[in-house]
């Protein structure tokens, strides 16, 4: 048997990590059913992306074989990548436009969290209403989470450009009547950002339902919230997500 090259080993590991991240999204309730996808930049011109295959069962059941490598136009990046009835997501332009214009990111998550959609439709913005409850989420919200105001399927580059223009350099954009897009340097970070936004949206809905008012964290408290660093914010948080996922297997 020919030994697996380091490049192929890394590629296969990336496919598995994206598949696991899709399952985390689903088990967190951010991508119920068959809607949603995650991508990862491999080279300047290629990406791995969660595709829909002939035996599609939904994001909760994503396997490494569902992750395929394509170019920025959605063409297979190697022979057989879209064989066997696999097709790129209709909203692939959502991923590729961000990867084209933002060298600071490698991963893009598109999900349909019901609480995010409901909060936005209720007029509740993603705001820094909590403190130490979710420090990364609070900092993310304090910097502002823009809203793309069209509830459309982002199926072409024109619509993807509109969304990207609204998102700017921010890590997350809410898509009205649709869901959200999260972008980061890693798949794990992009998923965790989406989870934080979903949690803040859920908290806002609870406060509003109880008759309360959303009040941003005071500046004096904000400056006391430390950056706990990537090891805690991402690595430890991701191990927790994997443990949660394992419990559901």
Active site residues: 91
Dihedrals phi, psi of 96, to nearest 5 degrees: -70, -30
CB burial readout 200-231, b (16+ within 10 A) else e: bbbbbbeeeeeeeeeeebeeeeeeebeeeeee
CB burial readout 115-131, b (16+ within 10 A) else e: bbbebbeeebbbbbbbe
Which residues, in sequence order, are bridge partners of residue 175?
A: 148, 179
Given phi > 0 = left and psi -120 to 50 = alpha, else beta, which region is 218? Answer: beta
d(CA 128, CA 143): 9
Reference 150, options 131, 132, 165; nearest CA is: 165
């Amino acid at each position: 048997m020919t030994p697996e090259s380091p490049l192929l080993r890394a590629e296969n590991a990336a496919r598995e990590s994206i598949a696991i991240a899709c399952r985390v999204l689903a088990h967190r309730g951010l991508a119920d059913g068959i809607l949603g996808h995650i991508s990862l930049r491999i080279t300047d011109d290629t990406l791995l992306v969660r595709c829909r295959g002939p035996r599609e069962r939904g994001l909760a059941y994503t396997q490494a074989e569902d992750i395929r490598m394509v170019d920025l136009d959605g063409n297979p990046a190697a022979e057989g990548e879209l064989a066997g009835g696999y097709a790129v997501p209709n909203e692939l332009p959502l991923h590729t436009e961000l990867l084209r214009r933002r060298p600071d990111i490698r991963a893009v998550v598109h999900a349909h969290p019901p609480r995010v959609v409901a909060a936005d439709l209720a007029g509740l913005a993603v705001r820094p209403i909590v403190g130490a409850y979710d420090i990364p989420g609070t900092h993310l919200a304090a910097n502002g989470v823009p809203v793309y105001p069209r509830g459309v399927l982002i199926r072409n580059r024109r619509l993807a450009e509109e969304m990207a223009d609204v998102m700017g350099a921010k890590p997350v954009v809410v898509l009205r009547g649709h869901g959200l897009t999260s972008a980061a340097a890693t798949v794990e970070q992009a998923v965790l950002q989406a989870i934080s936004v979903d949690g803040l949206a859920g908290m806002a809905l609870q406060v509003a339902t109880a008759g309360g008012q959303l009040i941003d964290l005071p500046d004096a408290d904000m400056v006391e919230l430390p950056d706990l660093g990537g090891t805690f914010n991402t690595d430890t948080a991701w191990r927790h997500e994997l443990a949660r996922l394992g419990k559901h297997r």
